[in-house]
Amino acid sequence: MYNPKEPYLRLAHSVEERLMTGNFCQQRRRMIDLVVRTSLGCGKKAAYIRRQRDFEVVGIGENRIKAHLDWLINARVIIREGCYYWLNMDCERVQIKLKLASW
């Protein structure tokens, strides 16, 4: 049920379009959503995620977290400094392939 007093996310349309059209597997997309939710969703620039295995909360096995996280960081989708993670808002610097529409 919609609650107008509930917190919400605000993302630029260009950033949301890049997320919607990015060629992400479901697990990587959930990792991105976790970073966005715990950073921008909490009114902060960066999410504090103490241990990589904390990404298990979105249903990813501990043995796959590092590979997915490394991919997201190398593609410049997520930026990490120590235990702080944030979404790269500079869409021009993100290095991912876009999904092609198959109509």
Nearest CA among 52, 14, 17 for reference residue 31: 52
* Mean pLDDT, all residues of the chain: 86
Instruction: List, for residues 67-100, the tens digit of each pLDDT value.
Output: 999 999 988 899 999 999 999 888 677 776 666 5
pLDDT at 17: 85
Token pair in block for residue 31: 């990792």
Task: Report the share of the chain in percent with pLDDT over 90.
Answer: 50
* 0.75 surpassed by pTM: yes
Domain range 13-93, CATH architecture: Orthogonal Bundle (1.10)
The domain ranges of the chain are 13-93
